[in-house]
């Protein structure tokens, strides 16, 4: 068995262990403690290491812009195409999809396979492209989440500035934002990960290495199985894959690629699983809603149960797609293979819905009614 498959099974095993631990971790305080470890310790350490480890080559600065372009395209596709198939705008379901579907988590779902199949050079390219994705998941997604929170709760105009000031203060105190500012300041003075004192570098790396197992265990612990919702998630992930293949196909057709490996990288990187970071922003909004019950409406900004299930399902889904592309790379180096694959996925997405419409004479794509299950993240 290849190293890549070993890596895949080890990641999925951690999610399974988390699912088995659900019976042991019954109190919300236990789940919240695990989340604090992720958001306030392991995640900031990972971001700090990633920023200090990147060596920017000016010829490759287009890569972050292309990744950010993908994030923007997926937001537009989700916003304007999914409503045609039954997902209503201005609902917790739509807002959850708008944050999660454009996000990428290449560190979990893509980087191990790039190293195995393409080599270290293209892993560096992928890490550089991920800077653009980081701008989306850390900054743009956070701003969107908070903007929706204020909009749907129609907070009084005379309190808006106070709320904005409070939000800015919270952003300044947020560990993730603190490490981003710190890392950028250090880079401006020529300090990188290798030039840090050894004891400090080793401590940060040990904390950073906690991130992957903690996230996967948390997903397994927090996931709530609602089969009608899981059916919906598989449908939207097929839609996401179709748009992604079309984006990669157009990119390959319009921009000359220096090598076949670069073509494969352009296909597999956007196929990465959905990122945990937008879900962290959604959890922060839920905490704001819980603290401000007297000021806000009863409607939640996001559907956290849907969000955690998307995270749990997108990882194996993306892993299978990435392994499939890398295992048949000779097919995908052809110019229009990605475009054909994108069309096929969208056809798979649309045909069952058209069949349903013909039978029922009513076009209801998704059952987006709120699932009658306990929201495991209600106290986040």
pLDDT of residue 4: 55
Average pLDDT, the chain: 80
More confident residue, 148 or 156: 148
Least confident of 133-137, 138-142, 154-158: 154-158
pLDDT of residue 225: 66
Max mean pLDDT range (3-17, 181-195, 325-339): 325-339
At 296-332, the pLDDT tens digits run: 555 788 999 899 889 888 888 888 899 889 888 888 9
Burial of 194 (0-12, 13-18, 19+ CB in 10 A): exposed
Place 370 in a pLDDT band, splitting at 50, 70 and 90: very low
Question: Which of 135, 165, 169 has the alpha carbon at shortest distance from 150?
Answer: 165
Rounded distance between C-alpha atoms, residue 217 and residue 103, angstroms: 20
Question: Which of 39, 358, 9 has the alpha carbon at shortest distance from 215?
Answer: 39
Number of C-beta neighbours around residue 320 at 10 A: 12
Place 250 in a pLDDT band, splitting at 50, 70 and 90: very high
Rounded distance between C-alpha atoms, residue 81 and residue 238, angstroms: 13
Q: CB-hemisphere CA count at 13 Å for 290?
A: 11
For residue 375, is pLDDT > 70? no
pLDDT of residue 107: 77
Least confident of 31-45, 167-181, 337-351: 167-181
As a whole-number percent, the residues of the chain with pLDDT over 70 amount to: 81
More confident residue, 357 or 264: 264
pLDDT of residue 260: 92
Place 80 in a pLDDT band, splitting at 50, 70 and 90: very high
Rounded distance between C-alpha atoms, residue 255 and residue 296, angstroms: 48
Least confident of 56-65, 84-93, 229-238: 56-65
pLDDT of residue 157: 41
Max mean pLDDT range (66-80, 84-98, 312-326): 66-80
pLDDT of residue 321: 92
Rounded distance between C-alpha atoms, residue 308 and residue 220, angstroms: 9
Q: What is the average per-residue pLDDT within 73-83? A: 94
pLDDT of residue 360: 67
Read off the pTM: 0.72
pLDDT of residue 135: 85
Are 310 and 238 a contacting pair, CB within 8 Å? no
Place 342 in a pLDDT band, splitting at 50, 70 and 90: very high
């Amino acid at each position: 068995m290849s190293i890549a498959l070993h890596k895949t099974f080890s990641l999925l095993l951690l999610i399974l262990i988390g699912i088995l631990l659900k019976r042991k971790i019954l109190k919300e305080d236990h789940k919240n403690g695990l989340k604090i470890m992720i958001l306030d310790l392991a995640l900031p350490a990972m971001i700090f290491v990633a920023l200090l480890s990147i060596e920017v080559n000016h010829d490759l600065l287009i890569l972050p812009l292309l990744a950010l372009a993908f994030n923007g395209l997926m937001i537009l596709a989700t916003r304007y195409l999914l409503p045609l198939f039954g997902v209503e705008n201005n609902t917790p379901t739509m807002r959850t999809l708008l944050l999660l579907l454009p996000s990428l988590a290449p560190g979990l779902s893509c980087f191990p396979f790039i190293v195995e199949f393409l080599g270290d050079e293209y892993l560096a390219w992928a890490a550089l492209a991920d800077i653009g994705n980081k701008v989306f998941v850390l900054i743009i997604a956070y701003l969107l989440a908070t903007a929706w929170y204020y909009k749907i709760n129609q907070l009084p105009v005379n309190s808006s500035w106070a709320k904005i000031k409070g939000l800015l203060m919270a952003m300044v105190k947020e560990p993730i934002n603190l490490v981003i500012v710190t890392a950028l300041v250090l880079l401006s003075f020529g300090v990188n990960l290798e030039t840090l004192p050894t004891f400090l570098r080793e401590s940060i790396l040990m904390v950073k290495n906690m991130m992957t197992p903690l996230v996967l265990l948390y997903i397994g612990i927090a996931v709530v199985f609602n089969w009608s919702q899981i059916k919906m998630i598989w449908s939207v992930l097929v839609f996401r894959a179709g748009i992604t293949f079309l984006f990669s196909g157009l990119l390959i057709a319009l921009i000359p690629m220096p090598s076949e490996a670069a073509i494969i990288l352009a296909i597999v990187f956007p196929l990465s699983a959905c990122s945990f970071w937008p879900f962290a922003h959604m959890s922060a909004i839920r905490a704001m809603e819980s603290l401000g019950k007297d000021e806000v409406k009863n409607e939640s900004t996001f559907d956290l149960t849907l969000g955690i299930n998307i995270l749990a399902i997108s990882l194996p889904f993306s892993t299978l797609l990435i392994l499939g592309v890398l295992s048949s790379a000779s097919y995908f180096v052809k110019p229009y293979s990605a475009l054909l694959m994108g069309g096929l996925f969208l056809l798979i997405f649309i045909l069952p819905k058209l069949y349903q419409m013909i039978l029922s004479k009513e076009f209801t794509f998704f059952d987006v009614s709120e699932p009658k299950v306990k929201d495991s993240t209600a106290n986040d």
